[in-house]
Amino acid sequence: MSRIILALFLSVALAGAQTVITIAEAREDSTGDGIPDRLGEIVTIEGVATCEGTLFSSSTPPGLGFYMQDETAGINVYGYDDAIPGDIIAGDEWQLTGEIMQYNGLVEISPSDPSDFTYLGHPGVPDALQLALNQGVSESIEGMLLALGSSSLQQWVTVATEPAFAGGGYNFEVWNGQTAVAVRVNESTQINMAGIAPGVRLFMMGIGGQYDSEPPYDSGYQLLPRYQTDLEIYQPSISDQFHLTVLTPNPFAPSLGETVNLEYGGPAGMRFTITVFDRSGRDVTHLADSRPAGDVIQWDGTDDDDQVLPIGPYIVLLEGFDGDGKRFTTTETVVVAAPLN
């Protein structure tokens, strides 16, 4: 008799258990219409929180508003305050049951009760996915922790527009190479925007988000910084020795969106001009004109008319003029290349 009771108990327990699916499966859009296949379904997923549980909540009292991801994809978690299971810390791993929803193109999972959460441990926040030069936020990486620019790669993004406050947050754009990426800084993150202005260079991190009010929900992708440290202003330390240095990559392939980084500098009070010449000695572009301080700049292989130059070697001439008008010069060679087949 006891075996029969135990078997009945196990069968009931298993029948009530939720099947765990991957986050990619939860947000799958097999038809490509911008609407998740499982919209309105109750599913169970597992993933790691990439920020605190109420960080992106705009309600009072704060409800659930955070992101979690597994090895396949990321997703927004949205819910009212009475569904919060307690503190949710960045790096926590949770099993979560909720309804698949969509808000302005953003795929969400919405739990309704604290019992929808099961704590699985604290493996820590996963490494951010590094976006390549000229890559923007897209549907396939929505909901994931992303890095835009990298100090180790000597790759930065440049603020393109003045941050403007609207709807409980700041909106601005940055240039990632030749690609404009929208950035949304929610007021709930309490990120201080001082110093963020056009021309400022940044190394950034944040969540891939979306705000698109019209079908087919294939635009409006954004980067959502979480913390002050997600906006790191790049201020290179330049030697006061007169120099021109070609940083990697060299050769570089403009047709792939690659750029070459050039560092130049010299004593205080010197002004700098940088001119690029082709093999015939013709000046093709001017990268700096009487600039008052050393810097690190990027060249995308185009001329002064924004046309990509032919493959081959180019001479970069740095001229420096001190306060007495004395002229200093040095050159480096860079190579515009074609991609390998």
- Over residues 84-107, the mean pLDDT reads 98
Distances (CA, A) of 202 to 126, 148, 209, 258: 21, 8, 19, 18
Question: How does the average pLDDT of the chain come out, rounded?
Answer: 93
Contact call for residues 37 and 25 (beta carbons, < 8 A): no
Assign 341 a pLDDT band (cuts: 50, 70, 90).
low
Q: Residue 174's closest CA among 153, 133, 202?
A: 202
* Calpha distance 209→184 (Å, rounded): 9
**What size, in residues, is the chain?**
341
Report pLDDT for 211.
97
pLDDT tens, position by position, 220-276 = 999 999 999 999 999 888 999 999 999 878 999 998 888 899 999 999 999 999 999
Please count the CA atoms within 13 angstroms of the CA of 245 that sit on its side-chain side: 14
pLDDT at 103 (0 to 100): 96
| Mean pLDDT on 62-77 | 98
Largest CA distance in the chain: 104
Mean pLDDT, range 106-121, rounded to an integer: 98
Q: Output b/e per residue, 81-109; b: 16+ Cβ within 10 A.
A: eebbbeebebebbbebbbbbbbeebbbbb
| φ/ψ of residue 251, rounded to 5 | -70, 165
Angle at the Cα of 94 from the Cα atoms of 93 and 95, rounded to 5 degrees: 140
Tell me the percentage of the chain whose pLDDT exceeds 70: 94
| Residue 13's pLDDT band (cuts 50, 70, 90) | very low
Report pLDDT for 17. Answer: 59
The larger pLDDT score, comparing residue 257 to residue 107, is at 107
How far is Cα 79 from Cα 110, in angstroms, rounded to an integer? 5
- Cα distances from 175 to residues 172, 203, 312, in angstroms, run 10, 12, 27
Other Cβ atoms within 10 Å of 68 Cβ, number: 25
Q: Report the alpha-carbon angle 124-129-133, nearest 5.
A: 155
Q: Which residue has the higher pLDDT, 15 or 70?
A: 70
Task: State the pLDDT at residue 55.
Answer: 98
* Cβ 119 vs Cβ 197: under 8 Å: no
Could you read off the pLDDT of 168-209 as tens digits, one per residue? 999 999 999 879 999 999 999 999 999 999 989 999 999 999
Cis peptide before 61 (omega within 30 of 0): yes
> Which domains can be identified in the chain, with CATH numbers?
2-121 (2.40.50.200), 129-233 (2.40.50.140), 243-336 (2.60.40.4070)
Of 191, 118, 194, 109, residue with least CA distance to 143? 109
Q: Which pLDDT tens digit goes with each residue over 313-340?
A: 999 999 999 999 999 999 999 999 987 6
State mean pLDDT over 64-92: 98
Question: CB–CB of 231/123 below 8 Å?
Answer: no
Q: How much is the average pLDDT of 127-151?
A: 95
Which pair of structure tokens corresponds to residue 207?
């969540």
